[in-house]
Amino acid sequence: MSSNDINDKILDNPFTNNLYDTYVVSFKDVDKREGFNINGRNRNILTDSEKYIVDIQKQHSNLISTIEQIYFIKTYLRRFPDKNYLSENGINRLSYIQYHTEVLSHKIHTVLEIMKLMINEVYVLNIPPVDCTWRMIISKLDKKILPLKIIDKYFRTFAKIIELRHINTHRGVYSDKGQDEIESKYGFTVYELHKRLGINTDIEFQRMFPQFMIESKIKELKKSRVDLVTNILGVISELTNEFLFSLNEEFERRMKNAPQQK
């Protein structure tokens, strides 16, 4: 599945279609309005309903972009580019896989946060972005409405990964049994240390920990991470599509009641 396939799957919903159609119609002639500045933000010349559309569109774009970045992680994991350059700068294959696995957990959490920000914009809750927490949202909306039920489902689906993300962010801890096994049980750490120090690894150690076993285990680890991203993308695509679909009723209601531009 390509990034275009994923985007098509996510974008195939009435909310997205309505948002973009409304955006195109609303801003078709905005450059002809008095006070328009080609180098400025021009928010001052927009109506309240147009500001509403712009703010939602911004979060919608951020959401799609973040999911696309998760797809990029899959692409990065499949290759270890410019091996010599990375190795010279202290990046080995395990640290390369670790870095992108950490990024994955952060992007999964970012999708959740953007969903909350979209709720804030679509329902005009007027919560400052920095304070747009689940607790603040359910203090203003019934948590049984469909969009919030989907956000809760998303959180529960990825709760363990999100918790690992929090631990990694706030404590600098990264736990990966597959990586730990390669580093300790298969001698990877010793080989890497010898390489950095310019020490020749003795033949007895190489017999005990043959490098072909390390190569095999790294390939297994890489494949498992690629498969993980593939599975996560499938789930995120489904939940995001459900979430966007659920916003359409409120968006249509507000646009129907918005004052018409003369």
Q: Which of 108-122, 154-168, 205-219 has the lowest mean pLDDT?
A: 205-219
Structure tokens at 210: 């043959």
Per-residue pLDDT at 261? 53
Amino acid at 64: I
Per-residue pLDDT at 262? 44
Percent of the chain with pLDDT over 70: 95
Distance in angstroms (rounded) separating the CA atoms of residues 171 and 88: 28
Of residues 112 and 258, which shows the higher confidence score?
Answer: 112
Cβ neighbourhood burial of 156 (10 Å; 0-12, 13-18, 19+): exposed
246 touches 150 (CB < 8 A): yes
* Three-class SS state of 17: helix
Distance in angstroms (rounded) separating the CA atoms of residues 49 and 121: 12
| Whether pLDDT at 165 is above 60 | yes
pTM for this one?
A: 0.88
| Whether pLDDT at 247 is above 90 | yes
How many CB atoms are located within 10 Å of the residue 117 CB? 19
Mean pLDDT of 65-69: 95
Give DSSP secondary structure letters for 135-196.
HHHHTTS-TTSHHHHHHHHHHHHTHHHHHHHHHHHHH-----HHHHHHHHTS-HHHHHHHHH
* Tokens 């390390």 found at: 214
44 touches 75 (CB < 8 A): no
Distance in angstroms (rounded) separating the CA atoms of residues 77 and 165: 19
- The model's pLDDT over 17-64, given as tens digits with 9 standing for 90+, comes to 999 999 888 878 777 787 777 677 777 778 888 899 999 999 999 999
Per-residue pLDDT at 231? 96
CA atoms within 13 A on the CB side of 181: 11
> What is the crossing angle of helices 93-122 and 211-257, to 10°?
10
